[in-house]
A = this chain, B = another copy of it.
Amino acid sequence: MKAIADISIIPLGVGLSLSPYVAACEQVFRDAGLEPKLHANGTNVEGDWDAVMEALKTCHEELHAMGVPRIATNMRLGTRTDRDASMEAKIESVREKMEL
């Protein structure tokens, strides 16, 4: 089962600069082959459900190991069986409608 996910990870108890932690997770997602697409409020990844979830777990574990005592993640997670989907196709589909 393929999953497309949008992951926003908020480390708590480490002050206001969250970017070092976001960067660490980007690396985890890259290492997992999930081709993360960073945006202003999260990161989009796509891949096999288990690979996405395993990477997210590694990310939480790594942030805790970096000294983050509490993490609040928000994830949007999509699966579909009617056809193959991709992040690129989702964006392209909206762009086509806008050009009309």
Contacts and interface: CB of A to CB of B under 8 A. Distances in A.
Contacts of A17: 93
Interface string A61-76: 1001000111111111
Contact of A20 (B27, B41, B78, B97): B97
A16 B69 contact: yes
Contact of A80 (B1, B26, B27, B70): B70
Contacts of A42: 6, 41, 76
B71 A78 contact: yes
Contacts of A77: 72-75
A56 to B, nearest CB: 8
Contacts of A70: 16, 78-82
* 4 nearest CB pairs, A to B: A6-B41, A23-B97, A40-B87, A69-B82
